[in-house]
Amino acid sequence: MSSSPQCPVDHNQQQASSADSCPVQHKPRSTWSRFFSDTPAPAVSPNALSIERQVSSIPRPNDGNWVYPSEAQFYAAMARKNHSPEAADMRTIVPIHNAVNERAWAEIIKWESGRGGEACGGVKLVNFKGRPNDKSPKARLNMLLGCALTS
């Protein structure tokens, strides 16, 4: 199934490639139109979010592959971290999150190619760990040199 020329999503790479599963809105609209529109955006209850999870292509160390969070789990995690999520946004955010992880994994595999991981049964991801408040060595050095941190 081919996608529109403007669509940045490669629909040939998706397992269920259909216009309904595409996270990109294909109807043109102004960014400001939602603020000036007379019709409010439809409210989506967090209880109405999908609990369906997608299996990734990223292998676990023991067996099988990692499984991405559902819309409901993603919403709950954002709320728990005080990010003020909107339930209606989860249908867009979750596919983008999964696509970014898949692309990052492809880059890791490309980097690890020929470095010996094949001898141990292939490269596997041991854990996901977000540490947004930890500064990298480069960030700490830049702080010492007087550079401001960006968020």
pLDDT digits (tens, 9 = 90+) for 80-136: 989 999 999 999 999 999 999 999 999 999 999 888 878 888 899 998 887 878 888
Phi, psi of 65 (to 5 degrees): -120, 160
Confidence of residue 38 (pLDDT cuts 50, 70, 90): low
Contact 49, 41 (CB under 8 A): no
Query: How far is residue 22's CA from residue 149's CA, in Å, rounded to a whole number?
Result: 35
pTM over 0.95: no
Residue 3 has pLDDT above 90, yes or no: no
Segment 53-82 mean pLDDT: 93
How far is the C-alpha of 47 from the C-alpha of 34, rounded, in Å?
24
